[in-house]
Amino acid sequence: MYPEATSLEIKKACSHKEYLRLAIPLVISGISTPLLGAVDTAVVGRMPDPISIGGVAIGAVIFNTMYWLLGFLRVSTSGFTSQAEGLKDEREILLTFFRPTIIAILFGLLFLFLQEPILHISLMLIGGSEDLSGMAASYFTIRIWGAPFILLSYVMIGWLIGMGKVRLALATQVVMNVLNIFLDFIFVLGLEMGVTGVAYATLISEVTAVLFGAVVIYRSIKPGLKEIRLRMLTELEPLQKMFKVNRDLFLRTICLLAMTILFTSKGASMGEVILAGNAILLQIHYMMAYLFGGFANASSILVGRSIGSGNRLLYTRAFHLSAQWGLGSAAFLSLVMVLWGQATVSLFTTIEAVRAAAQDQLIWMVLFPILGFWGLQLEGIFSGATQAAPIRDSILLALLLFLPAIWLTVPILGNSGIWLSFILFSFGRSLFLSLYIPKLGKKSFKHEGAGSMSRSLMSMKT
């Protein structure tokens, strides 16, 4: 049995101010990512044809599919780095950057080599009209050249987050997203390049962000580079642990993307207007999800540090803060959707039919924050502990809830059935991962002895 900590001791482990010092830059960084997609959608939404919005939406789904499959590069890098930082192991801190960097480069080059079959298979699975597929193909064939750079940026941002260098992580993403938004307006609204302009804007910003991030990280790791040897990158035990965590996160992403592709495909089968309306709501959903992700990343840093340093008080406090700020944000976002949801949709398009299609389904954006926030928060906590198997299993269970729901409800409710199934998936994600919480503490502190509380208090004081 672990000694019971008082409420005051737990609160002293990390104050709200310290938590927000980590979380706020991560929230801003997180929101900037879907804001990029939102601006892409809003810019092409000024064009008279809804096919342009649908083409960008399908192209974005293809890239989300590719990059989400490698999302473990950011998530696991952050977890392993925060634990190494908690241990104050300088050599391992550097290796947690270089190991996933090799994977990012290899997969980026593989995506370039396989770009034609990836596009063909993706368009075949998603479906849609010939014009819609043509727009998506134009977007894809340009943006694909950014694949190695975006994957490298995942590693860079994950490492910076794990180190607690959240302002530098924010700066890297802001450079990419602000440049993308600026170029969107120039290429699409100024030069009237349409969907290809959106793609070029994204490609240029991705390359620029990696060059900026490389300079930032080189300055951080330069003193220790001379101590790193190639054989250190191939040490068996850390590689096995990294691949195990990455495997589970990869399988988790497969389940998540299966849901997303089926969701998009069902919308595409109902016509360009429904697809475009759903694309707008998905962008709003992504902005909410990434806001929660900022708090989840802050919790991930604290959990990683707590495990690395054996500080159980900090571990418990991370749970408390994650729940409090996640629930508060969920209530706020739901209220925003109730009061200004229709106005938010109107920012994305001037096409009345698309606007109406999105506004008809706004109730789901009111429900999503409340029912989905806890699953997103918990993923950050479990990632910080590098315990990815529960994340994998909970997403699989949520998918098994989604599949019969969409099969049964769409014939009856139409597009509302798609969104109802999505909300059930989000709620299942929260519910099922909650069931693994008791085991997480036991696994994370399984070697902790009776003196753990005093060590935690000492760590807290220092």
Q: Identify the CA nearest to 57 among candidates 272, 259, 258, 355.
A: 272
Q: Is the pLDDT of residue 447 over 60?
A: no
255-265 average pLDDT score: 87
How confident is residue 403, by pLDDT bands cut at 50, 70 and 90? very high
- Burial of 41 (C-beta count, 10 Å sphere; 0-12/13-18/19+): buried
CA distance 61 to 72: 18
Write out the H or E segment, with its range, that includes residue 175. Answer: helix 166-184
Looking at residue 136, its amino acid is A
DSSP 200: H
CA distance 310 to 444: 9
How high is the pLDDT of residue 34? 60
Nearest-10 crossing angle of helices 312-346, 437-444: 140
Extract the tokens encoding 193: 């390049």
Q: How far is CA 418 from the centre of its chain?
A: 22
pLDDT digits (tens, 9 = 90+) for 289-321: 888 888 988 898 899 888 888 888 888 898 999
Task: Please enumerate in sequence order all residues whose Cβ is within 8 A of that of 459, keeping only pairs 6 or more positions apart, or say none.
Answer: 309, 310, 311, 313, 314
Extract the tokens encoding 218: 């080189």
Q: Is the pLDDT of residue 450 over 60?
A: no
Q: Report residue 387: phi and psi, to 5°.
A: -110, 85
Extract the tokens encoding 382: 């479990």
Extract the tokens encoding 13: 């482990």
Q: How far is CA 78 from the centre of its chain?
A: 12
Residue 42 contacts residue 204 (beta carbons within 8 Å): no
The SS3 assignment for 71 reads: coil
Percentage of the chain lying above the pLDDT 90 cut: 25
Q: Is the pLDDT of residue 420 over 90?
A: yes
Residue 92 contacts residue 224 (beta carbons within 8 Å): no
Residue 379 contacts residue 78 (beta carbons within 8 Å): no
365 C-beta neighbours (distance < 10 Å), count: 24
- Burial of 191 (C-beta count, 10 Å sphere; 0-12/13-18/19+): exposed
Task: Please enumerate in sequence order all residues whose Cβ is within 8 A of that of 190, keeping only pairs 6 or more positions apart, or say none.
Answer: none
Looking at residue 13, its amino acid is A
Nearest-10 crossing angle of helices 236-268, 389-413: 10
Looking at every residue in the chain, the average pLDDT score rounds to: 82
- Burial of 402 (C-beta count, 10 Å sphere; 0-12/13-18/19+): buried
CA distance 306 to 318: 9
pLDDT digits (tens, 9 = 90+) for 181-213: 888 888 877 787 777 888 888 889 889 988 988
CA distance 390 to 432: 9
Q: Is the pLDDT of residue 430 over 60?
A: yes
pLDDT digits (tens, 9 = 90+) for 213-249: 888 888 877 665 666 655 666 666 767 777 888 889 8
pLDDT digits (tens, 9 = 90+) for 266-295: 988 898 889 889 988 988 888 898 888 889
